[in-house]
Structure 1
């Protein structure tokens, strides 16, 4: 009888990711994952409700990183400063040693529409939780929702850059760069740009 060994969860996660990447998510079974590390299918289901959960395990920890960043921000921080604090905290969570794992996970998800939908839902949950945290810090609507959804989008953009082949910058550095780009966007005039012909007519 195979015992439920310490560290089995991590071994199952690594084995599953390797199998998903080499033979495809749909083609890989829970039994195969367990057998590849000398465990039983029953052991697999002690740790994960299904094989999708291997890819989305730890979402609560990921979410907590954002919320802890907001909670630790100064009392009078603006909405954008709170989002910046959340991005910094998330950047610290994704250390460079995690990059190969994150890169492989992303490649598996990108090949499966159902997994892509689940990943999008993760970002929806993130934006909703951050918006609630901003409201708790006194940020009014609609600013709280705008800031939270913008923050989730900025994180997604930064993360996609972080896992690109050849990228060496930390996620925190990339996140700050994306935030600066967002700031430059919001600093622009909101008046509609006019063509040279419109300008000529107005002068005439």
Structure 2
């Protein structure tokens, strides 16, 4: 029976974030990460294509969670509430990965190569959500606009949560979407 690689992957993620914080992203090598995690460099590369992917490795799982949640929302639900429900479905992923994502967000904001990668990954998630909304019958331009606005609203909630987790992420998501609706209401 094959062993799960998840504990090793988790050790690598934690070691990488610790080293990135201690020594800086550019000064941290895959070899150093592997050594800190107690594995070989070869093992590191079995789990991650490069050291950047340590911070973005959960993107495929997040995309799948969001698109499956969009598909599962009851028919007739408008696009923004559908996106909001999808982000609710992602809360367990973010809670599970908080120990990596919180310092990772600070690293991404201060490291140009990581910031660029983050923008590309975010664009891919927006495209995936757009297509999931399209599959529900939402017109292309509206689907893309709602996916983009939804992502920005979600990032506002996660920023607040990373700064202070005393309020749960699900509550912050709801608050951010309420604020979005209030702002939109003032525009007309």
TM-score (norm 2): 0.91
After superposition, where does 1:52-201 map in structure 2 within 5 Å? Answer: 52-95=52-95, 98-164=97-163, 166-190=164-188
Matching residue of 1:20:
20
Cα 1:31–1:189 change in 2 (3 A) is closer
More helix by share: 2
Please provide the CA RMSD for this pair: 1.8
Task: Give 3-state SS (helix, strand or coil) of 1:25's partner.
Answer: coil
Structure 1: which 4+ aligned runs deviate by more than 3 Å?
none
Distance (whole Å) between structure 2 residues aligned to residue 33 and residue 99 of structure 1: 19
Q: 1:89-123: per-residue Cα shift (whole Å, max 9, x none)?
A: 1234322x543332111122222011011111111
Give ranges in structure 1 of 5+ residues lacking alignment.
191-204
Which runs of 5 or more structure 2 residues have no equivalent in the other structure?
Answer: none
8 Å Cα contact 2:55-2:100 kept in structure 1: no
Distance 2:105 2:128 in 1: 23
Give the distance between the partners of 1:79 and 1:185, measured in 2 at CA: 17
Deviation, 1:189, is 4.3
Distance 1:156 1:69 in 2: 18
Q: How does 1:14-53 map to 2 (within 5 A)?
A: 14-53=14-53
Could you say if the C-alpha distance between residues 49 and 92 of structure 1 is closer, same or farther in structure 2, counting changes exceeding 3 Å?
A: closer
What secondary structure, in the 3-state scheme, does the structure 2 residue paired with 1:101 have?
helix
Deviation string 1:108-150 (CA, Å, 9 cap, x unpaired) is: 2222011011111111111111110001001113211111111
- Alignment: residue pair count: 185
Give, in whole Å, the separation in 1 of the partners of 2:4 and 2:78.
47
Q: TM-score, normalised by structure 1?
A: 0.84
Structure number with bigger Rg: 1
Aligned to 1:195: none
Contact 1:92 1:172 in 2 (8 A): no
Q: Is the 8 A contact 1:66 1:87 kept in 2?
A: yes
Residues 185 and 135 (structure 1), Cα distance of their counterparts in 2 relative to 1, 3 Å cut: same
In 2, distance between residues paired with 1:106 and 1:113?
12
Per-residue Cα deviation, 1:24-58 (whole angstroms, up to 9, x for no partner): 11001111111123222122112211111111111
